[in-house]
Chain A
Amino acid sequence: MNPEIVPIHRKESLREDGMLFVRTEGIFDTMVKIPLLVASMIIVAAVMPIQSSFSSPRALDLIIYPDGTTHVSTEIDVDPLVANYELELFGNTIDNLVVINENGFLLTVDIIDNSALIETFGSSVITIEYDIHDLVSKQSRVWTFSLDAPSDFTLLLPQNSAIITMTNIPINMEIINDQNQLTLSAGDTEIDYLFSTTPVIPDPIDSIDFVPESNYLLYAIIGGVIAVIVIGILIIIRSKQKTVKTIQNASQIKQKTETIDAETIFKLKPDLREDDKEIVKFISNNGGEALESDLRKKFLQPRTTMWRAVKRLERNGVIEIEKKDLQNLVKLRKNMEEEE
């Protein structure tokens, strides 16, 4: 008989399938530096909108006039370190082209076929407006708008026009001055419309509750804020309950078994400073333990002063310091008498 010696802890933690089970309680505290994590999150949160703001164009708005000519208005982020910006126009029958930078200054433009070479010279945002005759065609009474849009865009249809077909699903539709304005996705879009003598503003549908898009946005934000508050409160309540429970349990156990009163400590440690004795008294009356922050509040001491006092008591063997929820929990030592 030569039984193999197996360490007890290994025997317990290794199961038949050879999986190693590790206690994860407190791993968050030990492995992750929370302030570092929070700082990283702040940086990520700050950087995200910056990254998304570099996408171009910023806005694209089109207005179709009753004669089929379309007014294009677009705002584009450009690299201020580059002298020129080349923009592909939606066609080559262009009129009334104006390009203005973020300061409202007129920029010089050269149009070659379908593209416009804009002298930006340090500008970071440019606004381009022009009229184009290439986007709408007419067959019999039906007018057809077609565009391969580089981004989502709005399209204001002429007054008294009625959509009869469209190739994709709109993101939104609004009525502006008795005209339909559609918000459409990037990509190929084709819309057929005609002019009607009867009013063509679509009636709201009674059977379906129409919630304007801005309300969705508002509801999402309000809902989010409420959710954050509720979850925050729940977390705080739960952690407080835990702390209270733990402290209560600890104090109950101590009261039953291990509490050393302050007078005994003073007898064992006659050299303690008066201010340190006050701290010991408070901890003793508090069930033998107290958070360092509570001590600071009680004695109205700055953080460093209290930290030095606590360290002094620790060196004297009166107390021991434990980490609890990233705070120092100061406990009177249980076995002082035995040591002495």
Chain B
Amino acid sequence: MKTLALFTMFVLIFGTASTSLVNEAYAQDNPDILLRIAIQADKQILNQLDKFYGDSIPSDIQILYEEGHTAVESLGNSLPANIEQAKEDFLTAMKSFKQITRMISEPNTESRLTISDNDLKSKLNRLDKYFQNLKTASEKHNTGIEFSEIQQLFTQAHQQIDSGETNLALETIHQLEIFIDEIKKKIREHSSHSTSDRVKEFALKHLIKIQKMLEDPSIDPNMPELEKANSLVAQIETLISEDNISDVKKKFGELNKLVKIIKNSIR
């Protein structure tokens, strides 16, 4: 029995500790990844330097590149034995490459993305993702909305982009945006009934709890918030019976604030 108990305890302790062990293992840096990223960055920086300067790389940039490249080599040598050194080498290489990047980038050209940067394909893909999310929600709400037309438009836009018909593609994307907005509105209309049911259910459940809390004898009966809260409870009940959900939401927000104040006064 004692042995069994000890064994059970050991298994439980191991089971409990193993989750943190696994997390630790997950968080451990994969040293190979560092080397792969560093080598890739080194190649790209060298390409950039070739493009910008050819054979006449400025000496300060040359020194920085040498530092970075040496750190990448050291990173390769540090692995797999010395991971701490490898991490240090990785960060040293990245620091040097960052300085080079800043130096070779043209000054004062930093800008937030403008419409000219937008790639139509990216825009269409994002719109598709948005549409898929709404489609899922629509199916959950059983709206019965027909999506075949919008799917056709997506195919059309992709074809237009592929064939270089930019203006036509832009037009189709604009059409898609309008359609998707309509779908969203339809889903909202369709789901308004279930949403109001959800809000009502939530409010009624919490009103009971709040009422119980307001009856706590340790609350100062002369507290002005108490009277206001009781009044709001009555108002919300009336609003629920009238199906006035938007006002229920507003009043419920006000009531929650008062409840917080009252709870703090008890403490």
Q: In chain B, residues 15-34, which have Cβ atoms closer than 8 Å to a Cβ of chain A? A: 15-16, 18-19, 21-22, 25-34
Is A165 in contact with B97, judged by CB distance below 8 angstroms? yes
What are the interface flags for B44-56 relative to A under an 8 Å C-beta threshold, 1 for contact and 0 otherwise? 1101100000000
CA distance A328 to B13 in the complex (A): 28
Per a CB cutoff under 8 Å, which of B14, B41, B139 touches A228?
B14
Closest beta carbon of chain B to A164's beta carbon, Å:
5
Q: Assess whether A106 is in contact with B137, with CB atoms less than 8 Å apart.
A: yes
Q: Which residue from B40, B126, B134, B140 sits with its C-beta under 8 Å from A200?
A: B40
Residues of A within 8 A of B (CB-CB), count: 88
Q: Please state if B252 and A65 are interface contacts (CB–CB under 8 Å).
A: no
Stretch from A6-14, A36-44, A307-315 contacting the other chain: A36-44
Write the A54-90 contact mask toward B (1 if CB under 8 angstroms, else 0).
0000000000011111010000000001111000000
Q: Is B36 part of the contact surface with A, judged by Cβ < 8 Å?
A: yes
**With an 8 A cutoff between CB atoms, is B228 at the interface?**
no
B130 closest partner in A (C-beta): A96
Residue A48 lies at the interface, judged by CB distance under 8 Å to chain B:
yes
Given contact pairs A171-B29, A196-B47, A224-B14, A235 touches B94 in the complex (Cβ within 8 A): no
> CB-CB < 8 A to A192: which residues of B?
97-98, 101
Query: Contacts A133-B112, A220-B25 known; A173 to B30 CB distance under 8 Å?
Result: yes
Which residues of A have CB within 8 Å of B140? 103-105
Whole-angstrom distance between the alpha carbons of A326 and B95 in the complex? 64
Chain A residue numbers with a CB within 8 Å of B267 are none
Which of B146-154, B155-163, B164-172, B196-204 faces chain A?
A: B196-204
Interface of B is mostly: helix
B60 at the interface (CB under 8 A from A): no
State the CA gap A110–B212 with chains docked (Å). 31
Distance of A163 Cα from B41 Cα, bound (Å): 6
- The answer, yes or no, to whether B118 is at the interface (CB within 8 Å) is yes
Separation of A196 and B105 alpha carbons in the complex (Å): 16
Residues of A within 8 A of B36 (CB): 173, 202-205
Main secondary structure of the interface of A (DSSP, over half): mixed
Is A165 in contact with B122, judged by CB distance below 8 angstroms?
no
Residues in A with CB closer than 8 Å to B141 are 105-106
Contact call B191/A137, Cβ cutoff below 8 A = no
Q: Report how far A69 CA is from B119 CA in the complex, Å.
A: 9
Given A65-B119, A67-B122, do A165 and B101 touch, yes or no (CB 8 Å)? yes
Tally A-B pairs: CB < 8 A.
246
**Per-residue 0/1 for A266-281: is the Cβ within 8 Å of any B Cβ (1 yes, 0 no)?**
0000000000000000
Q: Contact at B201–A122, with CB atoms within 8 Å?
A: yes
Interface residue from B5, B48, B109, B126 paired with A38 (Cβ < 8 Å): B5
- Say whether B5 contacts A35, CB under 8 Å: yes
Of the candidate stretches A210-218, A247-255, A297-305, the one touching chain B is A210-218
- A220 near B19: Cβ-Cβ < 8 Å: no
B129 — which chain A residues lie within 8 A by C-beta? 71, 96, 129
Known: A67-B122, A108-B195. A140 touches B105 (CB 8 A): yes
Q: In the complex the two chains form, what is the Cα distance from A252 to B252 in whole Å?
A: 82
B188 → chain A, closest Cβ, in Å?
7
Contact A81 B206 (CB under 8 A): yes
Proximity string of chain A (169-191) to chain B, C-beta cutoff 8 Å, 1 when within and 0 when not? 11111000000000001000000
Interface residues of A in 137-169 (CB under 8 A from B): 137-142, 162-169
CB–CB B29/A170 < 8 A: yes
A246 sits at the interface (CB 8 A): no
Instruction: Tell whether B266 is near chain A: CB-to-CB under 8 Å.
Output: no
B interface residue numbers (CB < 8 A to A): 1-3, 5-16, 18-19, 21-22, 25-37, 39-41, 43-45, 47-48, 76, 79-80, 87, 90-91, 94-95, 97-98, 101, 104-106, 109-113, 117-119, 121-123, 125-127, 129-130, 133-134, 136-137, 139-141, 187-188, 191, 194-195, 198-199, 201-202, 205-206, 249, 252-253, 256
11 examples of A-B residue contacts, CB within 8 angstroms: A38-B12, A41-B9, A68-B117, A69-B123, A82-B256, A83-B249, A105-B137, A105-B191, A141-B105, A172-B33, A236-B7
Q: A166-B94, A213-B30, A228-B10 are in contact. List 20 more A-B contacts (CB 8 A).
A: A49-B19, A67-B117, A83-B253, A84-B253, A95-B126, A105-B137, A105-B194, A105-B198, A122-B202, A131-B130, A138-B113, A140-B106, A164-B97, A165-B101, A166-B37, A194-B44, A194-B48, A224-B14, A239-B3, A325-B3
